[in-house]
Structure 1
Amino acid sequence: MIESWLFVLAIIAVLMIPGPTNILLASSAHQQGFAKTSLFIPAELLGYFYAISLWSLIIHLFTSIWPHLIALLHALSFGYVCWLVFRLWKLSYLEEHSQKHRYIRPRQLFFVTLKNPKALLFAAGIFPEETWNSVFNFVVIHLIFCIVLIPTAMFWMFFGRKILAGETKKIKADQLYKGSALILLICMLPVVFQIF
């Protein structure tokens, strides 16, 4: 079974950071309402499922040919996290993105999630290696992922809509980004220790 459950903290941290999928959820909740956007969550789940599985397949197929691939992917994942933290600390683009994308469909959310670099983080560095050893582990890890993803998506729909509607005076978008950056750094420490 799974040796350490610390990966759940890393899943929470990565899903909470404002990436393209979360921004689409917030924009859709603001423009189309909470109820209609909540129907988009299965598209996000499928997008992550396919993307994580594809990255895992690539890792499995090419690790025997190129043994340093996993180390390279860990380094790329770590670099991506550092870039995200820096970007989150410096920028806020929730309002800009909402203005550019007026009508969002589940298909669009699926493809954005499928291309999301977070899937590489999950496949190469966050999901434990035991995930791919048995069907039981695979199902358990993906159920945990789903259990974490649903409230995270709801959070982004609720607070993102409030921020875009200007209903929150105490929480601004840049504060949300900076808070996400700090949470990401703290929760990614177990993954960083695993890499080094």
Structure 2
Amino acid sequence: MTSPLLFLFATVILLLTPGPTNTLLWASGAVVGVRRSLPLLIGELLGYLSAILLILIIFEPIIEQFPLFQPLLAVILGLYIIYLAISMWRRADHISATAELITFKKIFLVTFLNPKAFVFALTLIPIGHNQMHWYFVALAASIMFIGLSWVVFGYLVGSVAGQHNLKLFNRFSSVMLTGFAGFIVISAWQ
């Protein structure tokens, strides 16, 4: 996609779409607040950029030769997200345990395996474009801004809900993660 405005529009829409990374950022904002959630944004950024570069360099040729490779990655992501959802459900009563569950490494891994990275790498980023570096700059800025928006949104919802309702909030986040895992796995095999 060589139009900068279309690229930015598609990027923002894709990043705003709820998914596992956004759900974890949202939950972190609610549970530990904005300041303690900020390092997670770097995990998200590095997860996306690492995945995109790996897809472009290694996975694209493999996917062309072995079409089942991409659905297999989706199943792995789905299973990992279900693991996170179960852990979040079990720890819903313990806010500190939920906070320990949403770590830099886990945000990185969920984002690294996120199907959105495939959309960026194989559809949106104009590979070979003489100004491609500016597309990556715009992507990085969008990832940080929209990720921060999810954290702030979670913080606001958590503030309104209050500490006594965070158990319900964590359970709701767990159910959302399970739904995303199912959607990712089912859509990969269609």
TM over 0.5: yes
Alignment match of 1:131 (pick from 119, 125, 129): 125
The 3-state SS of whatever aligns with 2:10 is: coil
RMSD in angstroms over aligned alpha carbons? 4.6
Q: CA deviation at 1:121?
A: 1.0
Q: 2:51 corresponds to which letter in structure 1? A: W
Alignment match of 2:31 (pick from 27, 31, 34): 27
Matches within 5 A, 1:164-175: 165-167=163-165, 172-175=169-172
Alignment match of 2:77 (pick from 76, 80, 84): 80
1:149 is aligned to 147
Q: 1:28 corresponds to which letter in structure 2? A: V
Structure 2, unmatched stretches of 5+, are none
Alignment match of 1:99 (pick from 92, 96, 99): 96
* CA deviation vs aligned residue, 1:22-71 (integer Å, no higher than 9, x gap): 54443323xxxxxxx33642x22221222222222322332476344675
Q: Is the 8 A contact 1:22 1:156 kept in 2?
A: yes
* CA deviation vs aligned residue, 1:70-89 (integer Å, no higher than 9, x gap): 75234422553477479759
Q: 1:72 corresponds to which letter in structure 2? A: F
- Percent identity for Structure 1 against Structure 2: 10
Aligned length: 178
Alignment match of 1:110 (pick from 104, 107, 110): 104
TM-score by length of 2: 0.61
The 3-state SS of whatever aligns with 2:125 is: helix
Structure 1, unmatched stretches of 5+, are 30-36
1:34 is aligned to none
2:2 is aligned with 1:5: no
Q: CA deviation at 1:165?
A: 0.8
User: Which structure shows the higher helix fraction?
Assistant: 2
Greater alpha carbon shift after TM alignment, 149-158 vs 133-142:
133-142
Q: 1:150 corresponds to which letter in structure 2? A: L
Aligned-partner Cα distance in 1 for 2:66–2:91: 34
The 3-state SS of whatever aligns with 1:17 is: helix
TM-score by length of 1: 0.60
